[in-house]
Structure 1
């Protein structure tokens, strides 16, 4: 009897892309469509490989909607297994732990989770670049004769192009002590895959477009394991269309010229990105945005490059770099910092501790580090002095 799983990833719930509540709803709608497809297909389980949420502190409405959607799986008797991605990662307890308490999800770990009699799942949460070489990839041995799948949230080469990857895939396969049949990945938003030393490795891609250059349709991966063989099929999700319009101005071009260019495109209900080039004129970015929205676009972003780049702080970093935190982690990885220094740095950067309690938190971390370094002897001797 075969096992059927649905692999989804990078749902980024709560993402107000371009500062738009419409886009926040779009991300939730895409996740809901993926879950509905899992119910329609009557899969044995759903696996999610990280960045369920776009933020480490999702809003209560986003959290509630996520739980409501997942409860449809629970009603259908389909378990939801997940790991934590880099966008949502916190220092201690994760929001996935909170959802697990509702019974709507289960967090994968380095211990085997039996999806079916035939298939075992493992999970390793997103690992920061500074902590990568110290990470323990040892997994507890699976039951004999089972098909093993490891879920991770990392940019690995292959299948990610070397230019964008953080680590070589070989590094993972060599450090894992279990013979893996497959590695299901998240963090890369396109659907790509490879086979390395007999292990099938792939990304399901994101369920919504997180950037205008993510041109390909959004997908989820339907997996079928039968007799120790895995077959993967991509299911395209119906998401909102993106289009890009370029307007190049001459010195005397006015509002009517811009509107004529816009009218050559069907913008209704779409996410529209407009790039302004050429000469500076009386037509402003706001004028163009208003003209696009008046023609029925759901969302419009305008980049005015006539007088230099138009910086939109609401969007955040663009392209393949997904967060400021990742840039910081890359720089920290180049420094020879201790594990305790890195932990204190992340607590400061992520503001995971209230300011009023920060001194006590840091003192506790330092005491724990000292206790571990001296095997408890230094603390004991100090406490014993009169």
Structure 2
């Protein structure tokens, strides 16, 4: 029997970084992944959300990405894409839509609403049948999973791929307990491969055939920190006929890292803390590396008195290509006395919404219970958005209204 191959990529987050070095590396990671997929002679590529870090990325990032996608299409290799939570647009004005209009990609999420949501399959030239569900910001997609016409999806014959961009509760890493997700049971059954995005780590559930490739580079300090600690970054190559025959994780490495973690600053003065950091750095070879420094403790003095900019200059002068210092867990004794957990405001917000919703007679299921709280918080997030640079007041008001109405599926 003839076998075929596809590449499963997710969470490139192109355009997330402002620093020139990191901007280059995040786009380079994507370009390298595509090159490796072509080298592996894949028949098609699936991208499970957050190709970009925003629905309209900066033009430099968009240009480089478009060029690489065109290289793939010139080889007549289809690329199938769903929205992630970052490149999602309620008004179809995302860069994803522009790329589809140019014929470079194919959006997968197509659905008919008839009481339930009936997803339509796209059949690739290999015979693979692909469908999926777009991400919605703040995990409102939970309700969409609940409304899926599961019977129709599960009865479809052939090799089937289900694309999604949300966390599976049972697979969420232990250090990310705050992430919302859906249960495994929310996924339709009888698919050969479940292609996930949103979780930024390589995760495999072989029993259920659920795969997350993780982020290619990472938009946050935490992502870079995990890479520096040895977490693999890359994507999957999957070989199949009427079932998955084998899969392989392809590493995408675009930089070397030096990760320095210091937690012995209790009762040190700012000058002593600076000296300790410099001494530790002098023990390391930082040339041509991304250097990440994380410090903990209760300082005997003001954290702001430590010359962090001077430390960065020292590292760069020793040949590092980028340096970041995370001192959020470094407190002064005065700060420790009045410390407030950053999650308190979020919890208070949720509590207020929960109490208010209980006292209102609401028939719409999207506004009840926990779903209602999530919808309310999403609406509040939209209403808090400032005007974009150069945006007219009328355009701003129309954008806010459209995004607000989209939460309730009003057009």
- TM-score of the aligned structures, taking structure 1 as reference length: 0.77
CA distance in 1, matches of 2:44, 2:300: 56
Task: Give the aligned length.
Answer: 352
Whether the 8 Å CA contact 2:379–2:404 is kept in 1: the answer is no
Measured at CA, do residues 117 and 164 of structure 1 come closer, stay the same or move farther in structure 2, by a change above 3 Å?
A: same
Where does residue 382 of structure 1 map in the other structure?
Answer: none
Aligned pair 1:9/2:10, yes or no?
A: yes
**In the alignment, what sits opposite 2:96?**
96
Cα distance between partner residues in 2 of 1:156 and 1:88: 20
**Shift, 1:360, TM fit:** 6.1
Q: Given that residues 159 and 192 in structure 2 are in contact (C-alpha distance below 8 angstroms), is that contact kept between their aligned partners in structure 1?
A: yes
When residues 286 and 168 of structure 1 are mapped into structure 2, their CA distance, relative to the original with a 3 A threshold, is same
The alignment partner of 1:288 has SS state of helix
Structure 2 CA distance for aligned equivalents of residues 328 and 185 of structure 1? 32
Deviation at 1:148, TM superposition (A): 0.7
**Aligned twin of 2:290:** 271
Q: 1:292 to 1:201 in 2, by over 3 A?
A: same
Q: Which residue of 1 aligns with 2:113?
A: none
**Mapped partners of 2:154, 2:101: distance in 1:** 25
Aligned counterpart in structure 1 of residue 204 of structure 2, from 187, 193, 196: 193
Please say if 1:183 is aligned against 2:194: yes
The alpha-carbon deviation at position 246 of structure 1 amounts to 3.9
CA contact (8 A) 2:108 2:122 kept: yes
Q: Does 1:300 align with 2:323?
A: yes
Range that drifts further, 329-338 or 280-289: 329-338
1:355 and 2:393 equivalent?
yes
Q: CA deviation at 1:117?
A: 3.8
What SS does the aligned partner of 2:171 have? coil
1:126 is displaced (CA, Å) by 0.8
1:157-186 Cα deviation digits (max 9, x unpaired): 23324735523433422xx3x632221100
CA RMSD of superposed structures (Å)? 3.9
Aligned partner of 1:124 among 108, 133, 136: 133
The answer to whether the 8 Å contact 1:117/1:146 transfers is no
Match of 2:71 in 1: 72
Residue among 134, 139, 154 paired with 2:166: 154
Q: CA deviation at 1:79?
A: 1.1
For 1:288 and 1:299, the matched residues in 2 are separated by: 12
CA contact (8 A) 2:124 2:130 kept: yes
Match of 1:12, SS state, is coil
State which drifts further: 244-253 or 47-56: 244-253
Distance 1:259 1:237, change over 3 A: same
Cα distance change on mapping 1:105 and 1:142 into 2, 3 Å: farther
**What's the offset of the Cα at 1:130?**
4.0
What are the within-5 Å matches in structure 2 for residues 134-173 of structure 1? Answer: 134-135=144-145, 136-138=147-149, 145-161=157-173, 163=177, 165-173=179-187
Once the 2 structures are TM-superposed, how far is the Cα of residue 191 of structure 1 from its aligned partner? Answer: 0.8
Map 1:217-296 to 2 at 5 A.
217-246=232-261, 251=269, 253=272, 258-276=277-295, 284-296=307-319
Q: State the match for 2:43 in structure 1.
A: 44
SS at match of 1:234: strand
Q: CA deviation at 1:203?
A: 0.4
Alignment of 1:359-374 (within 5 A): none
